[in-house]
């Protein structure tokens, strides 16, 4: 179970995330919604370790991750789509995914160096990388240099690298932003399949309410950095605070 306890960050006098206490269970997709500037991405950054909290804790399976840098939180099982700066632009799509699979499995198969194990490991890594590329509909681009990929394909590759890590927790921050009508369904389908697995913890920051309605088991709402609603999608969407604060509907029309 992933949990945050009184998680807080201040930028000068501004409290961007304000004492957020929340836990996220395996097998559940939680959508995090709220108006622009509500603190959603900052909350993600605090969980994944891109930002250090001013106060509060992040725990995974009871282990306190609060003092760990992002790389160690990733190793502990927190997976967030890679920033594009972490891709190798002069390598091919396949090589990028193969390296991610290899990094994730490092340490798992230390059998010493012999030609047979190098060859069989390499073959297994390529097979896994191919499988992942298939799942994000990038198999036909596997030999292209990452630097030459259009934006939508680079976003798909970010998700492919996240899959390669095989984390316990998947964090998606507007995963289909900037994608065209053909690309977005591929990513949404992938999230649907991850969800069907019922063992992963999935967090999704998403503005598109149709996507939230379809995918979320639970919605939490951030507003001015604070957690203001938490519950089943239908209840949360119907709540006055969401109608008013997020959807911009006045109390009367709600
Ligand atoms: N590094 C920073 N320094 C100063 N203020 C910051 C920093 N990062 C975020 N903020 C502020 O914190 C608040 C929350 O921002 P955040 O990006 O988390 O909101 P958000 O809910 O993700 O918004 P959006 O939906 O527009 O992406 C904003 O007021 C933002 O200006």
pLDDT of 114-128, one tens digit each?
Answer: 666 666 678 889 999
Same domain, 233 and 129: no
Are 111 and 84 contacting, i.e. CB atoms less than 8 angstroms apart? Answer: no
100, two tokens: 């991610």
Same domain, 172 and 111: no
| CA 78, 185, 22, 1 torsion-angle sign | negative
Tens of pLDDT, residue by residue over 13-67, are: 999 999 999 999 999 999 999 988 999 999 999 999 999 999 999 999 999 999 9
Pocket test for ligand 1, best of 16, 173, 177 (most atoms within 8 A of CB): 16
pLDDT at residue 83 tops 90: no
Same domain, 221 and 253: yes
Same domain, 47 and 106: no
* Nearest-CA residue for atom 14 of ligand 1: 39
Determine the Cα–Cα distance for residues 87 and 138; give it in Å rounded to an integer. 15
Determine the Cα–Cα distance for residues 60 and 58; give it in Å rounded to an integer. 7
* Nearest-CA residue for atom 2 of ligand 1: 11
CB within 8 Å of 220: residues ≥ 6 apart: 22, 30, 31, 32, 33, 227, 229, 230, 236
Listed residues 136, 165, 194: the one ending a domain: 165
Strand pairing category for 63-64 and 78-80: unpaired
16 lines ligand 1 (CB under 6 A): yes
208 Cα–ligand 1 center, Å: 19
Tell me how many domains the chain contains.
2
Backbone angles phi, psi at 62, to 5 degrees: 85, -10
104 lines ligand 1 (CB under 6 A): no
| CA 4, 219, 157, 199 torsion-angle sign | positive
Question: In terms of pLDDT, which residue wins out, 57 or 176?
Answer: 57
Q: What is the pLDDT of residue 51?
A: 96
Same domain, 176 and 206: yes
Same domain, 91 and 70: no
Same domain, 59 and 174: yes
192, two tokens: 């649907």
Strand pairing category for 218-223 and 29-33: parallel
pTM of the model: 0.88
Same domain, 125 and 109: yes
* Nearest-CA residue for atom 8 of ligand 1: 42
Same domain, 15 and 124: no
- CATH of residue 72's domain is 3.40.50.300
Q: What is the pLDDT of residue 253?
A: 44
* Nearest-CA residue for atom 25 of ligand 1: 36
Listed residues 165, 192, 224: the one ending a domain: 165
* Nearest-CA residue for atom 5 of ligand 1: 11
Determine the Cα–Cα distance for residues 29 and 21; give it in Å rounded to an integer. 17
Question: How many beta carbons lie within 10 A of that of residue 153, not counting itself?
Answer: 20
Find the domain containing 204 and state its range.
Answer: 1-77+167-254
Query: Which of these, 118, 114, 116, lies nearest to 126 by C-alpha position?
Result: 118
Same domain, 174 and 213: yes
Same domain, 68 and 188: yes
Q: What are the helix (H) ranges across the chain?
A: 40-48, 70-76, 93-105, 115-135, 151-165, 184-196, 209-215, 233-238, 240-241
């Amino acid at each position: 179970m992933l949990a945050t306890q009184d998680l807080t960050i201040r930028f000068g006098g501004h409290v961007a995330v304000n004492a957020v206490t929340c836990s996220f269970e395996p097998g559940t997709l939680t959508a995090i919604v709220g108006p622009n500037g509500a603190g959603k991405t900052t909350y993600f950054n605090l969980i994944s370790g891109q930002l250090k909290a001013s106060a509060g804790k992040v725990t995974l399976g009871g282990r306190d991750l609060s003092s760990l840098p992002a790389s160690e939180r990733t190793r502990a099982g927190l997976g967030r789509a890679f920033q594009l700066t972490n891709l190798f632009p002069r390598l091919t799509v396949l090589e990028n995914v193969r390296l991610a699979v290899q990094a994730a499995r490092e340490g798992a198969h230390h059998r010493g160096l012999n030609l047979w194990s190098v060859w069989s490991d390499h073959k297994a890594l390529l097979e896994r990388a191919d499988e992942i590329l298939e799942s994000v509909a990038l198999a036909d681009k596997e030999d292209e240099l990452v630097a030459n990929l259009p934006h939508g394909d680079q976003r798909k590759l970010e998700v492919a690298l996240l899959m390669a890590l095989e984390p316990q927790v998947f964090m998606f921050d507007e995963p289909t932003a900037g994608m065209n009508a053909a690309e977005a369904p591929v990513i949404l389908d992938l999230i649907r399949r991850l969800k069907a697995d019922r063992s992963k913890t999935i967090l999704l920051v998403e503005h598109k309410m149709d996507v939230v309605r379809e995918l979320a088991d639970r919605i939490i709402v951030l507003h001015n950095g604070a957690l203001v609603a938490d519950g089943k999608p239908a209840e949360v969407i119907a709540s006055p605070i969401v109608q008013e604060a997020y959807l911009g509907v006045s109390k009367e029309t709600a």
